[in-house]
Amino acid sequence: MSAAVDTVRVALDQRSYDVRIGAHLLETAGTAILAVRPAKRVFVVTDSTVAALHLARLEAGLDAVGLRREVFVQPPGETSKDWAHLGTLLDAILAHRPERGDILLALGGGVIGDMTGVAAALLLRGVDFVQCPTTLLAQVDSSVGGKTAVNTRHGKNLVGAFHQPRLVLCDLGTLDTLPPRELRAGYAETVKYGLIDDPAFFAWCEANAAAVLAGTGDARRTAVRAAVAAKARIVAADERESGVRALLNLGHTFGHALEAETGFGPDLLHGEAVAIGMRQAFDFSAKLGLCAAPDAARVAAHLDATGLPTRLDTQRGFAAQTLIDHMGHDKKVRDGKLTFILARGIGKAFVASDVDGAALHGFMTAEAGR
């Protein structure tokens, strides 16, 4: 891996920030933080898996510039991203008498990033935070764009805020310890940008997915840089998702139904659900006559080649209507109407809010087997 550091700017007026992508960024995190924001103290939030693997390098980076720190270690996994853990975390931070000039720092995957973001939005009515994403999914998606949330018993990501980080440090070395299944899940959110509006990037993914997953050469850097640049462009155009940002939900309405049905647990990772959902979005688009069938087949073939799931496990007894009901609880429902991201071809995704209910039911029945 080369020693260069790439920087992508997320242009949001006074809330603009840099996403830095490279090796050994944790060891130099203190210098990078002080360059954008004078601070005396950093509240580091992480999970126990990531702490064991990468916290020491971050601590060295903060020590190097005399930044004081307190560390809060959460249990790993989606079940930590809830009200109860958020309340306990805020209480623990408050016990250290934080001041507005202090900074929160998320060291971990999307779970830690999302929860730390909400904590930063709420603490003292809003403090700055820094993202140090350690999963591929978090580097290419969740750490950029300012969506923060926790889950409630009513559903996932239902309580949160738009709160942009001040800096994002994507240390590519952290990905070397990520289990292959988690890497593949993050890859689904990476290739998504090609499917949305960048057919050249999709072609690059077809040629380089194996290198991205294996960590060969500079493939991961190229993939993370391209994904972050795409996300930065879309977020800068539509920070609050009133338009083009909705395209980032490609595969998510279909995928969300499967996640809900499998309990948002380890049986089906978010990125895996998105992979199935993207394949479904293209096949449904082809069925509706919107997208050429060979394009849909090419999407499925590529996702299959990476080892991502692309089909519903019919052994699980999914039912079309139950899945459609789950789609109705998605945050993207407007006036009771489902919104889908469909495609007129690879790199030609669009927002469809007038999907025919009977066509959807027929498609889902064929998918689920009943």
Q: For ligand GLY, which residue of 18, 141, 197, 295 counts as binding (CB under 6 A)?
A: 141
Q: How far is the CB of 248 from ligand GLY (least distance, A)?
A: 4
Residue 182 within binding range of ligand NAD, rule CB under 6 A: yes
Instruction: Residue 36: count other Cβ atoms within 10 Å of its Cβ.
Output: 14
The DSSP code for 168 is E
CB of 147 to ligand NAD, least distance (A): 4
Q: Which residues contact 225 (CB under 8 A, 6 or more apart)?
A: 6, 8, 21
Active-site residue (options: 125, 153, 154, 334): 125
Contacting residue, 22, 145, 160, 345, with ligand GLY by CB under 6 A? 145
Helix (H, G, I), strand (E, B) or coil at 101: coil
One of 26, 44, 49, 363 touching ligand NAD (CB under 6 A) = 49
Going by DSSP bridges, is the β-strand pair 128-133/41-47 parallel, antiparallel, or unpaired?
A: unpaired
Quick check: is 249 catalytic? Answer: yes
d(CA 41, CA 124): 15
Active site residue 241: yes
Residue 76 CA: distances (Å) to CA of 7, 141, 188, 320, 337: 29, 19, 21, 32, 35
Does 135 interact with ligand NAD (rule: CB under 6 A)? yes
Which member of 166, 184, 252, 302 is catalytic?
252
**12 binds ligand NAD per the rule CB under 6 A:** no
Whether 245 is catalytic: yes
Of these residues, 189, 239, 261, 367, which one is catalytic?
A: 189
Which residues within the stretch 226-255 sit at the binding site for ligand GLY (CB under 6 A)? 241, 245, 248
DSSP 3-state assignment of 51?
helix
231 catalytic residue (yes or no): yes
131 binds ligand NAD (CB under 6 A): no
Q: Which of 57, 256, 326, 332 is catalytic?
A: 256
Q: State yes or no: is 233 an active-site residue.
A: no
Q: Which is nearer to ligand GLY, 141 or 198 (CB)?
A: 141
Where does residue 223 fall: left (phi above 0), alpha (psi -120 to 50 degrees), or beta otherwise?
A: alpha
Q: Which residues sit opposite 350 in a β-bridge?
A: 342
Identify each DSSP E strand in the chain by its residue range. Answer: 6-10, 17-22, 41-47, 68-74, 103-108, 128-133, 147-152, 155-162, 167-171, 340-343, 349-352
Here's the x/- map for ligand NAD, 74-93, by CB under 6 A: it reads as --xxx--x------------
Phi, then psi, of 232 in degrees rounded to 5: -60, -40
Q: Does 163 bind ligand GLY (CB under 6 A)?
A: no
Please report, as ranges, the residues that interact with ligand GLY according to CB under 6 A: 141, 145, 147, 241, 245, 248
Please report, as ranges, the residues that interact with ligand NAD according to CB under 6 A: 47, 49-50, 53, 76-78, 81, 108-112, 114, 134-135, 137-138, 141-142, 145, 147, 157, 174, 177-178, 182, 185, 270
